[in-house]
């Protein structure tokens, strides 16, 4: 797992994903045709500004079929048992809460959060993640190698995501993807981080893919803003930003919170492997055409329009697959 000294970037390049199960079926058995099976897992992509991000979950709630349906930690068998990662200010374990360190489940990996839940077929207006108290990020505030646990809070203790349709007899797949570079902020004058729902999106897991690749050292050496072969392998050397659509000029690509026309879909950090490779990964990306852009500027505050200079871009077609596809960044050659 990658981690790095905490600098001006609030929390950089984390994507966390939650899987739900839903989908179509040809089952004509009337005894099961009015229900669907629902499963939920959690996953993320590497982060470059923390050694741990423990998010405390209390329940999953579905709305749109009469009264909200809620599956609570420590109460319902469909969710995992509570653990001792979430504690109050006195150090006591918070009941009915499970803490999940998102950095333990990167890329296409996940941990099961809701399993074999039977839900009524129909339209659901929202999927809500009900958060418990005690969430925190472990960061190196002074760059001396000692981490401090900084509280993470969620407005109203709920993350409200988009809805979905559960087909009769079906088995649906969705991913709620957390991009903390967009959703987590550290307001001036306020202790700790705030996790906002704008950095979370719900995507159909039957139509997503995963992206990985490397950046050529030669390409990095051509740019004075890039660091090559750092001694500290937890230090990002560059960043990959992903934009929906292709054929964009680099000048049209916005940073997170930027004013340019094309807003980023997701982003992640590039790390040196200690030998010869500079690698990145992005999980749970909706299938489609994208522009992947490279920058060595890491100071991207999600609340401001920062001066981010993109060095190179590649057009990418993300295909539906459980296996990551590889897209590498190489120097542009001219004939």
Over the chain, what HEC string results?
CCCCECCCCCCCCCEEEEEECCCCCCCCCCCCCCEEEEEEEEEECCCCCCCEEEEEEEEEEEECCCCCEEEECCCCCCCCCCCCCCECCCCCECCCCEEEEHHHCECCCCEEEEEEEEEECEEECEEEEEECCCCEEEEECCCCCCCEEEEEECHHHEEEECCEEECCCCCCCEEEEEEHHHHEECCCCCCCEEECHHHEEEEEHHHEEEEEEEECHHHHHCCCCCCCCCCCCCCCCEEEEEEECCCCCHHHECCCCCCCCECCCEEEEEEECCCCCEEEEEEEEECEEEEEEEECCCCCCCCCCCCCCEEEEEEEEECCCCCCEECCECCCCCC
Report the share of the chain in percent with pLDDT over 70. Answer: 84
Q: Do 186 and 242 have their domain in common?
A: no
Q: Are residues 214 and 180 in the same domain?
A: no
Range scoring the smallest mean pLDDT among 35-44, 66-75, 245-254: 35-44
Residue 297: inside a domain:
yes
Give the pLDDT band (50/70/90) at residue 76: very high
The confidence band for 206, taking pLDDT boundaries of 50, 70 and 90, is: confident
> Residue 199: which domain range?
15-204
Q: Does residue 21 register a pLDDT over 70?
A: no
- Report pLDDT digits (tens) over 139-184: 887 777 788 899 999 989 999 999 988 888 888 877 778 777 787 7
Q: Where a domain ends, among 204, 238, 269?
A: 204
On whether both 128 and 224 belong to a single domain, the answer is: no
Same domain, 244 and 198: no
Q: Which residue has the tokens 């990996």?
A: 109
Inside any domain, residue 1: no
Q: Give tens-digit pLDDT for 260-289.
A: 999 999 988 899 999 999 999 998 899 999
Q: Are residues 110 and 219 in the same domain?
A: no
Residues 89 and 182 placed together within one structural domain of the fold: yes
pLDDT at 45 over 60: no
Question: What is the reported pLDDT for 26?
Answer: 42
191 and 223 co-located in one domain: no
312 and 216 co-located in one domain: yes
Same domain, 140 and 224: no
Single out the residue in 204, 224, 259 at which a domain terminates.
204
Picking from 204, 223, 256, the residue at the C-terminal end of a domain is 204
Does 304 share its domain with 318?
Answer: yes
Query: Is residue 332, in this structure, part of any structural domain at all?
Result: no
Average per-residue pLDDT for the chain: 82
Q: Are residues 194 and 303 in the same domain?
A: no
| 136 shares its domain with 257 | no
Determine the pLDDT at residue 124: 92
Please tell me the total count of domains within the chain: 2
pLDDT, tens digit (0-9, with 9 covering 90-100), for 212-255: 999 999 999 988 889 899 998 888 999 999 999 999 999 999 99
């Amino acid at each position: 797992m990658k981690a790095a000294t905490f600098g001006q970037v609030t929390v950089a390049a984390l994507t966390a994903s939650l899987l739900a199960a839903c989908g179509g079926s040809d089952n004509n058995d009337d005894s099961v045709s009015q229900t669907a099976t629902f499963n939920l897992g959690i996953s993320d992509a590497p982060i470059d500004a923390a050694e741990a991000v423990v998010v405390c979950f209390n329940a999953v709630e579905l709305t749109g079929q009469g009264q909200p349906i809620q599956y609570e930690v420590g109460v319902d068998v469909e969710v995992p048992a509570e653990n001792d990662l979430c504690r109050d200010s006195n150090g006591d374990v918070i009941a009915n809460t499970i803490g999940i360190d998102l950095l333990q489940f990167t890329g296409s990996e996940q941990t099961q959060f809701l399993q074999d839940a039977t839900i009524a077929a129909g339209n659901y207006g929202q999927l809500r993640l009900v958060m418990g108290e005690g969430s925190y990020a472990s960061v190196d505030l002074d760059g001396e190698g000692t981490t401090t646990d900084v509280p993470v809070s969620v407005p109203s203790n709920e993350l409200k995501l988009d809805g979905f349709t559960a087909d009769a007899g079906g088995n649906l797949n969705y991913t709620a993807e957390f991009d903390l570079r967009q959703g987590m902020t550290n307001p001036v004058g306020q202790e700790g981080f705030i996790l906002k729902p704008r950095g979370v999106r719900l995507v159909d897991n039957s139509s997503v893919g995963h992206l990985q690749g490397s950046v050529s050292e030669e390409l990095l050496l051509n740019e004075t803003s890039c660091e090559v072969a750092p001694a500290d392998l937890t230090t990002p050397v560059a960043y990959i930003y992903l934009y929906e659509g292709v054929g964009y000029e680099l000048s049209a690509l916005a940073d997170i919170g930027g004013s340019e026309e094309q807003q980023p879909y997701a982003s992640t950090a590039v790390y040196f492997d200690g030998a010869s490779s500079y690698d990145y990964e992005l999980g749970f990306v909706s299938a489609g055409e994208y522009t992947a852009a490279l920058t060595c500027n890491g100071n991207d505050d999600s609340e401001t329009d920062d001066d981010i200079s993109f060095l190179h871009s590649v057009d990418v077609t993300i295909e539906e697959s459980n296996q990551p596809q590889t897209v590498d960044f190489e120097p542009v050659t001219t004939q």
